[in-house]
Amino acid sequence: MSPDLPLRGLADDLSTRSDDALADLLITRPDLASPPPRGTGVLAGRALSAASLSLAGEKLDLLSVAVLEAFLDAAAEIGERKELLGPVSRDDVVARLGKRALRSDVDARLDALVEAGLLWGTGPLKRGKHTHWLGGAHLPSALPWRAHHLLGPVAQLTPDQIAARIADAGDRPRELLATLAQGPALGRSRDAAPDADPSAPVPSLIALGLLARVDEQTVELPPQVAQLLREQPPLQTASLRVPSLTDAEGPGRFDAATVDAAGAGEALELLRHAGDLIEALGTAPAALLRSGGLGIRELRRLAKTTALSVTRVGLLVELLARQRLVDGGVPDLADLDYTADEVFAPTTAVDAWAHHPTERRWLGMAHAWLHLPRRPWQIGDTDRDGNTLAALSSELYDATAATGRRAVLTPLLDAEPAHPVSVDALVADLGWRHPRQLRRMTRHVVTQTLREATELGLVAHGSLTTAGRALLSAPLDDETPAGVLEAMESSLPELIDYFLVQADLTVMVPGPLQSDTADHLRLLADLESGGAASMYRITDDSIRRALDTGRSSTEIGAFLAEHSRTPVPQSLTYLIDDVARRHGRLRIGMAASFIRCDDTATLAEVLRSDAAAELALRALAPTVAVSAAPFREVVERLQDAGFAPAGEDSTGALIDLRSRGVRVAARSHSTTAGPRRGGIGPGQAHAVVSRMRTADRAAGPVSATASGAAGETVSALIQLALRTGRRLRIGYVDAQGAASRHVVHARSLTAGQLVADEDGGETDLHFPLHRVTRVEVL
């Protein structure tokens, strides 16, 4: 202990740091930069507040928490001070942690805590670094718990030893532990006092180390005990080193190509299922709930139509809606069979999206998932009131969903490529990285997140794919990282343009088809099984479907002969000819508009005009003609040709021909808003630091060359600054009587006003001389 060292505050420490160090502090703790602090003194005050320290504690790993606990424990022995804790030496911290952590790791955490403004050095330097540290009075707010559990009785016990202590406790104490494990870890009891009856449940648990005393009326359940009671992977505190993500006794390493191929296969399946869902919604749009979500009944209908699970459909709906490929609104066609005012259907963006390269469509789905402010795997669950959670509903909204999703996958970046990581190992690692999130990063949450990542092709065989690793490493603001597209493109199997037609009228496709060939084949045959190798079946109905598009039997036969690596069976040729022979005997035409005229001569004149050729008018009777052109176009062309047509509806009543303007489909709530950015960039951080430096200079001590309020002296000093280009520090009182100080570059002195640019701040400021209280040339 060295309590006699100088007790300087954080403001003094920050004032001596470089601009780059202050910028790093603001980037690490972005809450300190909003609004921009006026000087390092204000910055220090914010950094020492309990709220800001609590936010900073969100980023601390388990070893950093242990270092803080050791610091606080050593500072408590020195005695309480009103504002400062410490000074505490490095040896004090190391002695309390013992051999559970390497000294180099402890030094790294101390340096990181100093850089983050949670601690700061004092006393003489040794090898360029301080040997003692101070902290603020609210430093305990950075801890994830109230008591010092990493220094407590169970801190150095193994999970088996802790489980044995739990088993030795009585039935009533175990019930108390179970209650605290499922609810808040803090509990209040009169038996928490040191002089309580030792046979009572609370004192007996404190004696066993299974409860920690916070004060005479409050106890807290240690997180090591809580994890065991919740049957979660235990929090290892006997050693404070980073837990291993890979188990030597677990499955061995996979080949990287195998992992990438599996991920690419999942990506292809995801896109194929997305196409099936889009087609299903285009055929039969889904009804929207009043809240704007998609109900579980509609999800089940879509799951039955697409032969997918409800969970899969919920994930696809969320991802497609995020990209505005499906949305809610009034449909363009009035003959759709729906019962709601608005329906959930594909948007016009789908047609362009379908022609994008595979890797680009996959990237859009992956980006949508990473930034989604909901957890799709919760769709179908019930809330506290027993209501079923619907897709796209506001009840599913969680601003931390995207951050938590990325936090689950980030540890896999540190694992050896293509080496599987088990769920329990990942949960244990997350507990070490994010001690505050122990209650959130459960086995269930991690399992469901990994399942969704696997379905998107980001994870395969328990490890990140090359494309997934590249995407997680790419900058958050880069929506089309080239490295990710290249990684997925190289992982995808090469597109083929052939298939195998078999005697039982099935078509076997040994790989992903080129888009044109796939479109023709889906038109001619029905998909029976999808995947890397898919199977189609040709039937009477599928052939008729192809003929309905205008193709002839000759064109269908030529397509099969061109792309089939096996001879086309004769039975299939006969089937195509037979269906084609029966197809088209009964013909149904299409017309968008009709022309009716009781005067046959007038109609004959219309048919002989140039407008008739442009509109492709066709006479069905002496008084009736039809056109494929829209109603509005027919009216305008005949008016331009000199005729005076009138419009009528299906009942023969005249209608208003005036234009009603452009109509667009209604859009639902904004589901594509990007994730909220809680941080700031280096440029913003340096701008804030520049303004703080200016404020510090303005608040500095006044020199002997400073003027008083005399007008001649003020003017003389301003003129001197204008001639020499030196800066001025001025005292100023505004119209409301608020006093302030500024460091400025004088530009001119005219009409009793100083026009100047603030150093590192605003430009073209006007200071009336009669409000300037002091001027100092710097």
pLDDT digits (tens, 9 = 90+) for 734-749: 877 777 888 888 888 8
User: Would you call 410 helix, strand, or coil by DSSP?
Assistant: helix
Domain final position from 431, 459, 491: 491
Instruction: Indicate whether 442 belongs to any domain.
Output: yes
Tens digits of per-residue pLDDT, 230-239?
999 999 999 9
pLDDT of 550 reads 74
Do 508 and 623 sit in the same domain of this protein? no
Mean local confidence (pLDDT), 662-666:
30
Distances (CA, A) of 276 to 357, 522, 633: 17, 12, 36
Dist CA 606 CA 621 (whole Å): 14
- Listed residues 461, 491, 521: the one ending a domain: 491
Which is more confidently placed, 759 or 446?
446
Q: Is the pLDDT of residue 345 over 80?
A: yes
Residues 480 and 517 both lie in one domain: no
Largest CA distance in the chain: 116
Residue 506 is assigned to a structural domain of this protein: yes
Mean pLDDT for 261-277 is 92
- Tell me if 396 sits within 8 A of 375, measured CB to CB: yes
Same structural domain, 108 and 51: yes
Residue 602: its pLDDT value, please?
83
What is the mean predicted confidence (pLDDT) over 33-43? 88
**Is residue 249's pLDDT more than 60?**
no
Contact status, residue 392 vs residue 294, Cβ threshold 8 Å: yes
Instruction: Evaluate whether residue 474 is within a structural domain.
Output: yes
Beta strands, E only, 363-512? 459-460, 463-464, 500-501, 506-509
Asked, for residue 526, whether it belongs to a domain, the answer is: yes
Q: Give residue 603's pLDDT.
A: 85
- For residue 741, give the CATH number of its domain: 2.30.30
Lowest pLDDT segment from 95-104, 351-360, 638-647: 638-647
Buried b (16+ CB within 10 A) or exposed e, 679-689: ebeeebbbbbb
For residue 85, list its beta bridge partners.
135
> Minimal CA–CA distance to 139: which of 40, 50, 62, 51?
50
Q: Quick one: CA torsion of 675, 679, 682, 687, rounded to 10 degrees?
A: 110
DSSP H/E element including 11: helix 10-15
Does 289 share its domain with 395?
Answer: yes
The pLDDT score that the predictor gives to residue 668 is 44
Query: Two tokens at 705?
Result: 């060359």
Side-by-side strand order, sheet with 526-529:
500-501, 506-509, 534-537, 526-529
DSSP alpha helices (H): ranges in 568-662? 570-582, 600-608, 610-615, 631-640
Token pair of 72 as six digits: 């606080």
Does the residue 161 lie in any domain?
A: no
Tell me: do 325 and 447 sit in the same domain.
Answer: yes
Residue 686 structure tokens? 């340096």
Is there a single domain that holds both residue 282 and residue 418? yes
**Using CA atoms, how far apart are residues 527 and 507, in angstroms rounded to an integer?**
9
Over residues 122-151, mean pLDDT:
90
Instruction: For residue 422, name the pLDDT band (cuts at 50, 70, 90).
Output: very high
> Amino acid identity of 740?
S
Whole-number pLDDT of residue 226: 94
Q: Are residues 707 and 630 in the same domain?
A: no
Domain span at 332: 256-491
Domain shared by 455 and 392, yes or no: yes
Go through 248-273 and write b for each residue having 16 or more CB atoms within 10 A of its CB, e for each that does not.
eeeeeebeeeebbbbbbbbbbbbbbb
Mean residue pLDDT of the chain comes to 85
Instruction: Note whether 453 and 542 are same-domain residues.
Output: no
Cα–Cα nearest to 753, from 718, 706, 707: 718
Cis before 87? omega within 30: yes
Residues in the chain: 778
Cis-peptide, bond into residue 124, ω within 30° of zero: no
**Two structure tokens written together for 319:** 């991802």
pLDDT band at 335 (very low <50, low <70, confident <90, very high): very low
Is cis: bond before 376, omega within 30 of 0?
no
pLDDT in tens, 452-505: 999 999 999 999 999 999 999 988 777 778 889 999 989 988 888 899 999 899
* Of the candidates 97, 215, 205, 211, the residue with the CA atom closest to the CA atom of residue 151: 97
Single out the residue of 502, 550, 542 nearest to residue 523, CA to CA: 542
Q: Calculate ∠ Cα 231-232-238, nearest 5°.
A: 110
Contact 522, 559 (CB under 8 A): no
- Can you tell me the distance from the alpha carbon of 183 to that of 226, in angstroms, rounded to the nearest whole number? 10
pLDDT score at 149: 94
Average pLDDT over residues 693-697: 76
Reduced to 3 states (helix: H, G, I; strand: E, B; else coil), residue 748 is strand
Confidence at residue 302, expressed as pLDDT on a 0 to 100 scale: 94
pLDDT in tens, 612-662: 888 888 888 888 888 888 877 887 888 788 776 767 776 666 565 544 332
Q: Would you state the structure tokens that stand for residue 209, as one six-digit string?
A: 């180390």
318: in domain: yes
Task: Please tell me which residue, 100 or 773, carries the higher pLDDT value.
Answer: 100
Q: Give the domain-ending residue among 433, 468, 491.
A: 491
Helix (H, G, I), strand (E, B) or coil at 121: strand
Better-scored residue on pLDDT, 702 or 487:
487
Measured CA to CA, the distance from residue 279 to residue 297 in angstroms comes to 18
Query: How many domains does the chain contain in total?
Result: 5
Per-residue confidence band for 332, with pLDDT thresholds at 50, 70 and 90: low
For residue 45, with 0-12 CB atoms within 10 Å meaning exposed, 13-18 middle and 19 or more buried, which class applies? middle
Q: What is the pLDDT of residue 138?
A: 93
Specify whether 612 is located in the same domain as 466: no
The confidence score (pLDDT) of residue 455 equals 96
Kind plus residue range of the DSSP H or E element containing 327: strand 326-329
Question: By percentage, how much of the chain surpasses pLDDT 70?
Answer: 89
Residue 670: band (very low, low, confident or very high) from pLDDT cuts 50, 70, 90: very low
**pLDDT band with cut points at 50, 70 and 90 for residue 611:** confident
What does the pLDDT average to over 354-359? 88
Mean of pLDDT values over 405-434: 93
Considering the domain architecture, whether residues 438 and 530 belong to the same structural domain is answered as no
H or E stretch at 594: strand 593-596
In SS3 terms, 214-256 reads as EECCEEECCHHHHHHHCCCCCCCCCCCCCCCCCCCCCCCCCCH
Q: Is residue 764 part of a domain?
A: yes
Q: Which residue's entry shows tokens 């980006």?
A: 367
Say if pTM beats, i.e. exceeds, 0.85. Answer: no
Whether residue 396 sits in one domain with residue 524 = no
Q: Estimate to the nearest angstrom the gap between the alpha carbon of 701 and the chain centroid.
A: 48
The band of 3, judged by pLDDT with boundaries at 50, 70 and 90, is low
CA distance 537 to 525: 5
Q: Reading across the β-sheet that carries 119-126, which strands appear in turn? A: 84-89, 129-136, 119-126
43 part of a folded domain:
yes
Among residues 232, 244, 233, 263, which one has the least CA distance to residue 450? 263
